[in-house]
Amino acid sequence: MKLKATTRFHSTPISEKLSSNFIELGYGLQVEGMAAEMFFNRSFEPFYPYRMINKLWYDLLEDENDHSSRCETDWRVFDWYHSGYEHNAWFAFPGTAGYQPITDDATFVIEKSPFADVSIGYCGDACHGDHAMKVENHSDALGGLAQDGKHCFPAVTYTFKGKIKRITGSGCLTVAIYEEGTTKDPVVTCALCEVGDTYTEVTAKFEVPAEGRYTFALLLPPHTTVICDDFTLIPSDSVRGFKKSAVEAGRYVSPKVIRWPGGCFASFYNWRDGVGDYRPPMYSYFWGGYQYNDIGTDELATYAEAVGAESMICVNMFHPFKRFFDYVPPESLNGDPNDNTLYAAYHGRDLPHFMDKEEGAREAAAWVEYCNGDETTEGGRARIKNGRVKPYNIKYWEMDNEMHRWFTDEEYAETCVLYSRTMKAVDPTIKIGMISYCSSMEALERMVEIAGMDIDFLADRGFEEGDLIRKLDILRKFNKAHGTSIRYCNTEWLPLNGADVYNMVPRSETRQNKCFMFSKWSYALDAAATLMMWQRYGQDIDFINFNNLANTHSQSVIETPKEGAYITSAGMMMHRFATTEAYRTLVLEDYHAKRTDPVQVQLSVNKDGSALVLNLLNRTEEDGELELDLSAFSVKDGTCSGVILSAKSLLSMNLLHDTQITETPGHVKVTAQSVKTIVPRLSFAEYVLPLT
């Protein structure tokens, strides 16, 4: 490939927020693996099965075309699996649990001890949520309630808290920590304060002698019955609800904006459930499974700050159809929202509290006030009471997710106006985003005409350059006519572009598996091509949220097993773009890379104009060659340094103890205002070429 540099720029300077990200509660065990909380089902609620949409997206069906087939119940068969995806059962002790298959009827409770007359079971006498756990020890020895899968580290203090009340027998209980798989000779024991006939909060602190997997056990004296609820087990090095390793990994990836709490989850989210002392655990309406609300507004906003990111909140816009449905097809949008027999996708709950649009706008405004208000506001005082004095000053607010599920185009735009005006009455500095990916270009033009004076950015998806150009044209036209400055954003993207055969790899002769591809080097290289495209559009683009941050069955930039955390292939690529020296892209003569081109070249200047930044991408199995004429610039002759990300195969991936993607120093030589170099197979590189 022979190319010639020019001094012309593609656009304005590159947005510094292209390397942004996305956390969705209730989906893919994202925050569960990131969270410091070590118990599975800490509040003892019956486990709701994952919904079909969850299983379909994660390729958990044996046959995606046969929805009646059984689902994959042993997630360990997948190469993305690690300990962060465990569903650890509560079991009667003495005993062991082992791996728990993930089925629709799974309870993740083993009620009877195989070795003693000890039993456990749900009861309704709860102090947190709807259920508690009754533990009965009818034996002549110690016995009780236990859970495996506690990976602990020395020199870290672990704090257990719980609420327990005595029904019969003694109130003198003990916490014991065993090496996992054993029932004798605990490594730690802690006596608890005596519990009475009403719920008593108990506390124990312990350390372990060596790193490893342990079993937590609550031991009852012989012939004793108690009821337990609201357990928690947290390490001392946690960061506002998150594991230290999850924060460190997040800092490395360095997202600039983090979108939360969804995604589809946001469309049925009541933000008040996730703040304050009492947070009711509940069914995850959209994805299934259970949402414990331990991670809410304060934790997510604090995590974003801890990793150097801004927050963007996706708002639940109330709608009459949300009472019964999570999708209403166009032909039913004129139907009766109170008719649960309407031709639509029924979500299985009755949610009348999400029906009134004006009430929804007031709730969104209250959320803004909670996040951004000072001590003179009701919301600010509530946040201060919950432990955060300084306002979060969250700037970006997206108006729901996949609005076509309930709204017509015009109705949605009109509702954006309602929400924007109500929310900006609380804080006029916030920026409101209107969804732009559910509508035709003609409909989007009408929507911008309706809402354009009240919105600040488009919340788009996808990655096709032609589609991007058309949407930017709509914005430029409106901005010019009305003196506005609406920006383009992409709040959820993933590089499913089909550019090579490895983007859909068969898991068997009859099935394609998306999740297999998510973790692979092929996926990261595709991400690089898309990010290079967005770089060329400069400040027309504000932020771009990769989907997702963590633990989405490898659709992520970090994974957080119990042993620690590691950076995925895509995470290494996102770090490279987060730390790039490229500031403004330059035009190469007669060359415009397509996102799907297997080999790509991009040249930029750095921020102070002292150097050129050369990016090279090769998604093929063969080395390429580049001859780049730099005569338009005064470039120093000599060897220039850089960084190369590469792997042996498109199917290479990172695991906790097996990093297959390498980052190595690279070099190119400038001779007589020209670069001649090999573009290594399966690589992405960045070189800095000093100017004289």
User: Do residue 220 and residue 258 come from a single domain?
Assistant: no
Q: Exposed (0-12), middle (13-18) or buried (19+): which is 367, by Cβ within 10 Å? A: buried
At 463 the pLDDT is 86
Tell me whether residue 212 is in a domain: yes
Q: In sequence order, what are the residues at sequence separation of 6 or more whose Cβ sits closer than 8 angstroms to the Cβ of residue 146?
A: 90, 91, 92, 93, 95, 97, 215, 216, 217, 218
Residues 486 and 611 in one domain: no
Peptide bond into 65 cis (omega under 30): no
Based on the fold, state whether residues 165 and 272 are members of the same structural domain.
no
Is the predicted pLDDT of residue 139 greater than 70, yes or no? yes
Residue 668 vs residues 262, 491, 588, 626, 627: alpha-carbon distances, Å = 43, 36, 18, 11, 11
> Cα separation of 115 and 582, whole Å?
65
| 266 vs 315: CA distance, rounded Å | 6
- In this structure, the answer to whether residues 11 and 62 fall within a common structural domain is no
In this structure, are 137 and 93 located in the same domain? yes
Taking CA atoms, 374 is separated from 368, 371, 384, 432, in Å, by 11, 9, 9, 21
Burial of 207 (0-12, 13-18, 19+ CB in 10 A): middle
pLDDT band at 503 (very low <50, low <70, confident <90, very high): very low
Evaluate whether residue 310 is within a structural domain.
yes
Which contiguous run of DSSP H or E holds residue 22? strand 17-22
pTM to 2 decimals?
A: 0.95
Q: What is the pLDDT of residues 380-405, one digit of tens each?
A: 999 999 999 999 999 999 999 999 99
- Look at residue 63 in the predicted model and tell me its pLDDT: 54
For 445, phi then psi, to 5°, come to -60, -40
Question: Who wins on pLDDT, 596 or 447?
Answer: 447
Residue 464 pLDDT exceeds 50: yes
Estimate the crossing angle of helix 409-424 against helix 357-372, to 10 degrees.
40
- Cβ distance 298 to 387 under 8 Å? yes
Kindly state the average pLDDT of the residues 318-342: 94
The answer to whether residue 247 sits within a structural domain is: yes
State what percent of residues in the chain have pLDDT above 70: 96
Higher pLDDT residue, 508 or 153? 153
C-alpha 170/C-alpha 394 separation (Å) is 51
Q: Is residue 599 located within the same domain as residue 626?
A: yes
What domain range is 66 assigned to? 41-235
> CB within 8 A of 83, min separation 6: which ones?
149, 151, 561, 562, 563
* Start-to-end CA span in the chain (Å): 26
Higher pLDDT, 65 or 11: 11
**pLDDT tier for residue 500 given thresholds of 50, 70 and 90:** very low
CA distances from 82 to 75, 198, 252, 464 (A): 9, 40, 21, 34
Question: What is the pLDDT at residue 507?
Answer: 46
Q: What are the tokens at 617?
A: 């991408």
Q: Which two tokens stand for residue 494?
A: 């993933």
Q: What is the CA radius of gyration of the chain?
A: 27
Residue 591 has pLDDT above 90, yes or no: yes
Cα–Cα–Cα angle for 227, 214, 550, rounded to 5 degrees: 95
Task: Indicate if the pLDDT at residue 34 is higher than 50.
Answer: yes
Q: Is residue 406 part of a domain?
A: yes
Q: Which residue has the higher pLDDT, 659 or 596?
A: 659
3-state secondary structure string across 194-212: CCCCCCEEEEEEECCCCCE
Q: In the prediction, which pLDDT does 57 show?
A: 82
Average pLDDT of the segment spanning 197-223: 98
Number of helices (H) and strands (E) in the chain: give both, helices first: 12, 38
pLDDT digits (tens, 9 = 90+) for 255-267: 999 999 999 999 9
Q: Read off the tokens for 26.
A: 């209730």
> Is 80 exceeded by the pLDDT of residue 505?
no
Structural tokens at position 226: 């108690």
From 210, 235, 260, the end of a domain falls on 235
**Band of pLDDT at residue 501, cut at 50, 70 and 90:** very low
Compute how many other C-beta atoms are within 10 angstroms of the C-beta atom of residue 535: 24
User: Structure tokens of 429?
Assistant: 């500095």
Residues 215 and 250 both lie in one domain? no
Are residues 286 and 344 both part of a single domain? yes
Average pLDDT of span 321-339: 94
Residue 513 to residue 649: CA distance in whole angstroms: 18
Domain termination site, one of 177, 212, 235: 235
- Does residue 36 lie within any of the structural domains? no
If DSSP codes are grouped into helix, strand and coil, which group holds residue 31? Answer: helix
The answer to whether 91 touches 97, Cβ cutoff 8 Å, is yes
On whether the CB atoms of residues 544 and 489 are closer than 8 A, the answer is yes
Is residue 576 domain-resident?
no
Say yes or no to pLDDT of 557 above 90.
yes
Residues of the chain with pLDDT > 90, as a percent, come to 87
* 218 shares a domain with 268: no
CATH of the domain at 311: 3.20.20.80
**Is residue 34, in this structure, part of any structural domain at all?**
no
Same domain, 185 and 285: no
Burial class (CB in 10 A: 0-12, 13-18, 19+), 571: buried
In this structure, what CATH number is given to the domain that contains residue 589? 2.60.40.1180
pLDDT mean over 478-502: 82
Give yes or no for a contact between 38 and 83, defined as CB atoms under 8 angstroms apart: no
Q: Is there a contact between 411 and 376 (Cβ–Cβ < 8 Å)?
A: no
Residue 172 maps to which CATH number?
A: 2.60.120.260
Whole-angstrom distance, CA of residue 195 vs CA of residue 225 = 11
Give the mean pLDDT of the chain: 94
Shared-domain flag, residues 608 and 684: yes
In a domain, 570, yes or no: no
Which tokens is 22 given?
């996305």
When divided into structural domains, the chain yields a total of 3
C-alpha 314/C-alpha 259 separation (Å) is 7
Give the confidence band of 359 by pLDDT, cuts at 50, 70, 90: very high
Boundary (domain end) residue, out of 209, 235, 261: 235
Say whether pLDDT at 648 is over 50.
Answer: yes
DSSP string, 463-512: --HHHHHHHHHHHHHHHHHHT---EEEEEEE------SGGGSEEEETTEE
Its sign, for the CA torsion 436, 437, 439, 445, is positive
**One domain for residues 409 and 455:** yes
